[in-house]
Structure 1
Amino acid sequence: MKVVCLSGGVGGAKLVRGLHDVLPPGDLTVVGNVGDDVEVLGLHVSPDLDSVLYALAGLNDEERGWGRADETWRVLGAARAWGGEDWFQLGDLDVALHLVRSQALRRGDPLSAITRRLAAAVELATTVLPATDDVLRTRIVTSEGTFGFQEWFVGRRHEDDVDAVVYDGAETAAPAPGVVEALRDADAIVLAPSNPYVSLGPIFAVPGIREAIGRRGVRCIAVSPLIGGRAVKGPLDRMLTRMAGGTTPAHVASFYDGLLDALVIDAADAPAEAGVPLVVSATLMDDRAASRRLATVVLEAAT
């Protein structure tokens, strides 16, 4: 069963890991968000792609929920001592990946080719693709000004209420090689429990991707990123309340208008009406076994 999962953020990486565990090797393709990408100390960082790579390779830090396990911070500390910026936390093991990626980008290699090599280096059967090889950056519009995503999310601790989300560069971006083909050939499409505005929105903003999902002849299943109307982590519940008017399953489903065959919600959000069929399950992925259980529910809904 060939499955394509659109993913961003920690929740996305956790579901991807569950799908990777329950599907036959090679049957999963992940299309990852690049709107969060940022340059730090001259290094190109792709947080959402890295979260997927680390989760699938068993290298992720389960306790923090992001970055590498057994991380140290000597490089960042030394950079700080030399007057370098330290607002974005780069661990020593994490820096190694960013060095390799940044060198390849300077050489002219596309991000998709680099990501394939990184996945091969940790012997992943799962295909990991950026949504686009072009520069696409999420910008957050607030009453205090407009900020790059990481500046708002990390630097300002996402404390500013969001008035709008803009995807700079999306209008001229093209899907990365293999993305549209994977969607065309999929037996099922899964939308991970990621923030629809800042994690999946940049993927949909790439011309051709949303259209490819709309032309599908297979089922498309989304997992709600909310439990009891609240975000597990991050500001999504505040964003939905302010921008969509609430945090019910119907408000989540409205973002995917015309795309969904079913929405998986947590039992804490049931009963509910959402305009699409609902599948009720436990959606909190607090360990790898929970990720596998949720992935199984999603795949059953997709068949």
Structure 2
Amino acid sequence: MNPESNSEPTQIAVVSGGVGAARFLAGLIDAIDELDEVDSAAAITAVVNTGDDCTLHGLSISPDLDTVTYTLAGAIDPERGWGLVDESWRAMQSLERYESVRPTGSSAAPRWFNLGDRDLATHFFRTARLAEGASLTEVTDEIRRAWQVPVRLVPMADGPVRTIVTITDEQGHAVEVSFQDYFVRLRHSVPVTSVRFEGAAELAVDARRALETAHTVVIAPSNPIVSIGPIRALPGVDHLLADRRENTVAV
């Protein structure tokens, strides 16, 4: 399997979230030799959720894309299901020094979202390439090739989409927070009343091509609201999948 090749037509397009989809894709790669209809893993394209992307420390972070990349590269931490195995956390630990001088209301140097020392390299690269004018699709493929991942990975959108969660605070008031605030900072421990998706992004060109031309579309085992939901919320996606009902399966 040649991770450099993007020339093979997509035979299976996988609508993907993070951990569940990553494990499904890993199993699909293992089973590839038994699938007569698929020539190689390079003929599989994962269309990955970016609705939980965020910016922290000035860095562009794509949690689901990175989880899929690290899993398929055999580098994921198997116990956490995210981040790199044998990771160190010195950068995050060093941020503690600045907590006493951080002004009230400042979001500088947050420690609630852990970024491992080696994981930071991915975010440095992504952020710099986006600043140079590369699209998220282009950067994602560069990262995929650097990790020698045989399956093609494409973000659902090149423009920003944000998952906004409405929670009930301690006073009983409805408050909107980002998905990462809800899931990581608040440890998904508060009542949720609604979820919406913010942003004017369209389905990325390569993502649309994969979903339109693949022989089979598979909706991977991922959270239907916050992982598959953002992809379905993009204009035209539900209509596209409905038109391909006979060739689409949800796991």
Quickly name the TM-score band, shorter chain normalised.
Answer: 0.7 to 0.9
CA–CA separation in structure 1 for the residues paired with 2:96 and 2:59: 15
Given candidates 156, 180, 186, the residue that maps to 1:150 is 180
- In the alignment, structure 2 segments of 5+ residues that lack a partner are 1-9, 33-39, 100-108, 170-174
Runs of 4 or more above 6 Å deviation:
none
- Structure number with the bigger relative contact order (C-alpha 8 A, sep ≥ 6) is 2
2:240 pairs with 187, 204, 212, which one? 212
Kindly tell me the number of residue pairs found equivalent between the two proteins. 221
Instruction: Say yes or no: does 1:55 pair with 2:80.
Output: no
Match of 1:129 among 127, 137, 154: 154
Given the superposition, is the C-alpha separation of residues 65 and 183 from structure 1 closer, same or farther in structure 2, using an over 3 Å criterion? same
- Which deviations, in whole Å up to 9, do the C-alpha atoms of 1:96-155 show, x marking residues without a partner? 100000111111211010001111112222110100001100000122211100000000
Q: Which whole-Å CA distance do the structure 1 matches of 2:243 and 2:206 have between them?
A: 16
Structure 1: gaps of 5 or more residues: 224-303
TM-score, normalization by structure 2: 0.84
2:88 to 72, 75, 79: 72
RMSD: 1.4
Q: Of the candidates 189, 192, 195, which is equivalent to residue 162 of structure 1? A: 192
CA distance in 1, matches of 2:130, 2:95: 22
| 1:29/1:218 CA distance change after superposition, 3 Å | farther
State the AA in 2 paired with 1:35.
Answer: G
Aligned residue among 8, 12, 23 for 2:17: 8
Q: Is residue 184 from structure 1 mapped to residue 209 from structure 2 by the alignment?
A: no
**Structure-2 residue corresponding to 1:259:** none
Does the aligned pair in 2 maintain the 1:180–1:208 contact within 8 Å? no
Choose from 104, 107, 130 the match for 2:129.
Answer: 104
Q: Aligned to 1:200, which of 208, 228, 242?
A: 228
How far is the alpha carbon of 1:184 from its aligned partner? 1.5
1:71-90 equivalences in 2 (<5 Å) = 71-83=87-99, 84-90=109-115
Q: Name the % identity.
A: 39
Residue 27 of structure 2 aligns to which amino acid in structure 1?
G
Distance (Å, rounded) in 2 between the aligned partners of 1:166 and 1:25:
34
Conserved? CA contact 1:187–1:218, under 8 Å:
no
Q: Any residues of structure 2 matched to 1:228-267 within 5 Å, and which?
A: none
